[in-house]
């Protein structure tokens, strides 16, 4: 509590909401706020009873393992917008973040936990009018149950089975992230009762990769997630199967594979997993945005780097979702939605940017491919004060206002009428995801 309060020094002594933007149609916004949404991307935290260990499975790559880096303005813990979130979620009655008032906030949160127990995560969704949240987690947990929460597991670990020491030396963030992937691969092997990596690539595919995907599907997964841009560039090229097989066989028991050869193996595994995901009816989600970390390679997450995979004829039965919409390369992302199996959500844009800028991206996308756009919050926890519910509130509020702004502009310019505006809003917030994932 004290550390959080220190972060909040200098905050103005009044709460500010996310006020309606100029030029917004208030009646349209009111209707948009009534739509029950499907959240395509988030990291909710499971319910933890008093005395239980904290949740550590809300991400495969927790950011506390890398060098501290600056947060954008809206994600700073002292952002006064979170005061409005506390008002709406917990009936917080103050307009500041003083230590005494934060103690009252934490007491109110504890009361919610005691009243709702395992239902607390669903209670948070109820406050935000979110029908279903896609939980990007290593494993689901207490309170994160279907149909309100559906699972999206991480599968980056499957494409990095060999020695990763060269990558760790190349980039300081990689040095922090790769060990988590290596531990996750060991966990997947253990789940399958496989004691060591098989000696051939064919055996690895048959005994580890496909069974892991099938197990995830059986356990409720609707999609799989890649955070690969935190580990390498997203330039997954046409796979060289000969090089991939030789590289795996030579280095599976040790030694550092040459970078070019290891990339060929990773590319082969990415394409193989994508085909298997399509066979199993799992969408492939790919993190693509200016990411967290002082050594993140922004140029490595331009969505155009994925064009080879998107154009591959053998992958047309696989649906790809570019999570975060490739920001700041949103025009490039819009062009990629011309592919029949490529979609984008705008999660994280909804807390990196304010409603006005997000509305411009949404309008551009809706004018071209309105059936390919998905809502998402990228909700995650900063700790007990600014928890995943507050981040979800910020994203949810921003997204609905941005959507109203974009649709108001389209109505004012004579591109659509009010009935079409509401139809588009329902598509973006709910119907596109329901159709993509076969949900009711």
Strands of the sheet containing 223-226, edge to edge, are: 223-226, 283-287, 320-323, 342-345, 373-374
The tokens describing 157, both together, are 């670990």
pLDDT tens digit string along 160-219? 999 999 999 999 999 999 999 999 999 999 999 999 999 999 999 999 999 999 999 999
User: Which pLDDT does position 195 carry in this prediction?
Assistant: 95
* pTM for the full predicted model: 0.93
Q: Label residue 347 exposed, middle or buried (CB < 10 Å: 0-12, 13-18, 19+).
A: buried
* Terminal C-alpha separation, the chain: 42
- How do residues 2-45 score in pLDDT, each as one tens digit? 344 334 433 333 333 344 456 899 999 999 999 999 999 999 99
| Residue 154 DSSP code | B
Structural domains in the chain?
2-10+22-436 (3.20.20.140)
In the chain, which stretches have pLDDT less than 50? 1-20
- Residue found by looking up tokens 């062009």 in the block: 335
Q: Rounded to a whole number, what is the largest CA-CA distance in the chain?
A: 65
- The rounded distance, in Å, linking the Cα atoms of 212 and 190 is 11
Q: Are 220 and 151 in contact (CB under 8 A)?
A: yes
Pair 97, 112: CB distance under 8 Å: no
Question: Given this model, what pLDDT does residue 10 score?
Answer: 38
User: Under a CB-based contact definition with an 8 Å cutoff, are residues 286 and 301 in contact?
Assistant: no
Q: DSSP label at 345? A: E
């Amino acid at each position: 509590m004290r550390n959080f309060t220190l972060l909040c020094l200098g905050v103005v002594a009044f709460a500010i909401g996310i006020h309606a933007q100029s030029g917004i149609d208030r009646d349209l916004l009111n209707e948009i706020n009534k739509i029950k949404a499907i959240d395509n991307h988030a990291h909710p935290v499971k319910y933890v009873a008093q005395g239980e260990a904290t949740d550590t499975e809300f991400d495969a790559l927790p950011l506390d393992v890398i060098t501290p880096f600056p947060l954008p303005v809206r994600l700073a813990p002292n952002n006064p917008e979170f005061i409005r979130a506390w008002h709406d979620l917990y009936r917080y009655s103050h307009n500041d973040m003083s230590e005494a008032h934060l103690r009252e906030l934490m007491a109110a949160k504890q009361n919610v936990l005691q009243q709702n127990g395992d239902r607390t995560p669903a209670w948070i969704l109820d406050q935000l009018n979110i029908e279903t949240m896609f939980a990007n987690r290593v494993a689901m947990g207490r309170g994160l149950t279907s149909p309100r929460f559906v699972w999206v597991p991480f599968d980056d670990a499957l494409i990095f089975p060999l020695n990763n020491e060269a990558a760790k030396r190349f980039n300081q963030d990689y040095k922090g992230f790769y060990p988590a992937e290596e531990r996750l691969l060991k966990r997947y092997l253990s789940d399958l009762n496989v004691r060591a990596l098989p000696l051939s690539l064919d055996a690895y595919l048959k005994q580890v990769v496909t069974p892991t995907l099938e197990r995830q599907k059986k356990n409720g997964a609707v999609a799989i997630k890649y955070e690969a841009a935190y580990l390498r560039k997203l330039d997954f090229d046409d796979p060289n199967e000969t090089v991939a097989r030789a590289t795996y066989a030579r280095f599976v028991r040790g030694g550092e594979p040459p970078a070019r050869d290891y990339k060929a193996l990773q590319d082969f595994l990415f394409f193989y997993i994508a085909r298997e995901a399509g066979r199993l009816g799992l969408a492939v989600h790919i993190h693509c945005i200016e990411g967290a970390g002082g050594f993140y390679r922004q140029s490595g997450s331009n969505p155009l780097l994925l064009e080879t995979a998107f154009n591959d004829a053998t992958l047309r039965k696989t649906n790809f979702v570019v999570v975060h919409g490739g920001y700041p390369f949103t025009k490039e992302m819009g062009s990629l939605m011309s592919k029949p199996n490529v979609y984008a959500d705008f999660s994280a844009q909804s807390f990196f940017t304010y409603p006005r800028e997000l509305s411009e991206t949404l309008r551009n996308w809706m004018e071209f491919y309105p059936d390919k756009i998905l809502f998402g919050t990228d909700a995650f926890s900063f700790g007990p004060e600014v928890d995943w519910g507050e981040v979800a509130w910020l994203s949810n509020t921003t997204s609905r206002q941005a959507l109203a702004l974009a649709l108001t502009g389209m109505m004012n310019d004579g591109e659509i009428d009010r009935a079409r505006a509401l139809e588009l809003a329902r598509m973006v917030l709910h119907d596109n995801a329901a159709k993509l994932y076969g949900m009711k």
